[in-house]
Amino acid sequence: MKKVLILVLSSNKHPYDVMIDTQMSTWDSFEVDGTQTIFYCGDPVKDNTDKIIYFPIKEEYSTMGHKALLAFDWCLNNKEFDYIARVHSSTYVDKKELIKFVQTLPENNVFAGAIVKDKKDFLWGGAHFILSKDVVQKIIDNKQSWNHSVMEDVAMSHLVSDLGIEFSEGRSCSIDNMGTTWRAMCYGGEKECFLFNDFNELKKLNNQFFYRVKQDGKREVDKYLMEQLFNVLS
C-alpha cells in the first residue's frame, strides 16, 4: 500500500491553536492504515511531539515559504511516505477517501491540486496539494530557487513548473457560508456546486477527501463545520 503523510500548516497562536485541537478531535481522532498526520508550527517553539513539530520561524505570510521548506526537509529525514498531502488548519481531511485516492496516482512527478489560470499557472493553496516524495525531494534540492517575495502556493507552483513537472488536477470541496444556508463548491473530479442546510447532503459527494472550511476571521465557525463534517463523514 502506498502511504500518505498529511502535513498540516498550523500555528500555536490563538485562535489557530484551537484548530489543531479541533482537527485532532475530529478527522484525526482515529487511525487509517497508510496515513499519518503531522502538524507544523513556527514560534513560539516548543518540544516536538509525535504529532506536532516546531520551527524557529516567525508566523507571518512572508515566512510561509521558509516554514514549508523546513517542514518538507524534516519529513524527508524523519518519516516514511510516498506522498505528502499539504493542507492547512481549516481543512477537514477524510482520510478513508484520501488513502484510496493516492493508490490511483503515479509514483513520481505528482503535484496535484486546484489549478489557477494566470500569466503563469499555479495551484491554489486553499484547495491543498498532493506531492509525490520525489517532487518534495526536488523542491528541497532546488530550494535556492524558491521565490520568497510571492505567496507560498505561487512560489511552490512556479518552482515545480520550472523543474519540468506538470500540474495535475486534484480534488477539494469548499464549504462556504451563504447567510441562511451553506454552499458546497467542488474542484476536480465531479465538479459540483449546491446549496444545503442538512450536512447529511454532503454524503452524496463521491470520493471527496479535502474539505476547506475556512470562513475569514471566524475560526469558531471553522470549528463548527469540522464537527458537523465529522458527524456525517466519520
pLDDT tens column, 23-32: 999 999 999 9
Task: Give the number of residues written for the chain.
Answer: 234
Mean pLDDT of the chain: 93
- 223/219: higher pLDDT: 223
Q: Residue 189: what pLDDT? A: 65
Region 64-82: mean pLDDT is 97
pLDDT at 187: 85
pLDDT value of residue 195: 94
Closest-CA residue to 7 (of 193, 210, 184): 210
Quick check: 231 pLDDT over 70?
yes
* Confidence at 198, pLDDT banded by 50, 70, 90: very high
- State the cell numbers at 185: 463548491
Distance of CA 22 to the CA centre of its chain: 15
One DSSP character per residue, 189-215 reads SS--EEEESSGGGGGGS-S--EEE---
**Residues with Cβ < 8 Å from 47, sequence gap 6 or more?**
54
Supply the pLDDT for residue 58. 93
